[in-house]
């Protein structure tokens, strides 16, 4: 496990509870930050919620971008390796689902597996989906961002903001689009997949491919909304996380 300073750089507490049953660790989408999950974190009354802050953005903007999902996940898993005073659930959206998947794989290998993995807004890891978005010019790249709805249209027209957010977004897209899952890679923890019905990046059949990635329980739920459905419509996802924690802890009792 790294130093407290290293840990604080990567793992940001978003909400606390008086007597938390578990920790929920949230992994952002491409270009996203830990604070993206701030409002979502407030939905949980008895979980301690944290967001992962990737390098190359906001207060870490002067750090180098990582070269691959595997490199990024390896650093995070090393930091989390001995952090086991509470059970942990991992949740990732879009690219964050891939990072959380790779982190889970590493934690399992060291005997410190999380209770479960929640993968939102992402096709199964075995389905390589390189659309070359990271290679597009700025105008085409921004049209892609507008399609997903992750940034307000007013932000996409602010040159100063774009100068800050475009580099990490493009670097993250490169990692996600060039990611290749190791053949036959499987977890033993439950995988719960959640997608928006109007998500232009993943359909139900593609999301169902996550089932191949675990020998444990698998569930798939669809929600009203798009790629970031849970920002406005997160009740069922919140319920699913709480239910998975309760079931896992009951099974261990």
Catalytic residue annotation: 94
Helix (H, G, I), strand (E, B) or coil at 234: coil
Cα separation, 100 vs 203, in Å, equals 20
Cα separation, 15 vs 10, in Å, equals 16
Using alpha carbons only, what angle is made at residue 172 by residues 167 and 173, rounded to the nearest 5 degrees? Answer: 100
Longest CA–CA separation in the chain, Å: 54
Helix (H, G, I), strand (E, B) or coil at 250: helix
Integer angstrom CA distances of residue 194 from 31, 55, 91, 170:
20, 26, 10, 25
CB atoms within 10 A of CB 252: 8
């Amino acid at each position: 496990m790294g130093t407290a300073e290293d840990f604080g750089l990567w793992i940001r507490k978003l909400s606390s509870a008086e007597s938390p049953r578990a920790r929920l660790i949230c992994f952002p989408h491409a270009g996203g930050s830990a604070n993206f999950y701030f409002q979502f974190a407030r939905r949980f009354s008895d979980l301690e919620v944290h967001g992962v802050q990737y390098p190359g953005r906001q207060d870490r903007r002067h750090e180098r971008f990582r070269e691959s999902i595997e490199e990024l996940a390896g650093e995070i898993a090393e930091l989390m390796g001995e952090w086991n005073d509470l059970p942990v659930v991992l949740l990732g959206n879009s690219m964050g689902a891939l990072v959380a998947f790779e982190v889970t794989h590493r934690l399992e290998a060291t005997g410190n597996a999380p209770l479960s993995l929640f993968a939102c807004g992402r096709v199964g890891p075995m389905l390589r989906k390189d659309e070359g978005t990271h290679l597009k010019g700025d105008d085409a790249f921004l049209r892609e961002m507008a399609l997903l709805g992750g940034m307000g249209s007013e932000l996409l027209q602010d040159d100063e903001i774009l100068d800050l957010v475009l580099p990490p977004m493009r670097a993250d897209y490169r990692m996600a689009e060039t990611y290749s899952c190791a053949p036959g890679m499987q977890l033993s923890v439950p995988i719960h997949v959640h997608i928006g019905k109007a998500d232009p990046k993943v359909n139900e059949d593609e999301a169902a491919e996550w089932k191949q990635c675990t020998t444990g329980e698998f569930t798939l739920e669809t929600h009203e909304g798009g790629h970031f459905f849970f920002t406005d419509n997160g009740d069922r996802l919140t319920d699913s996380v709480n239910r998975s924690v309760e079931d896992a802890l009951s099974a261990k009792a």
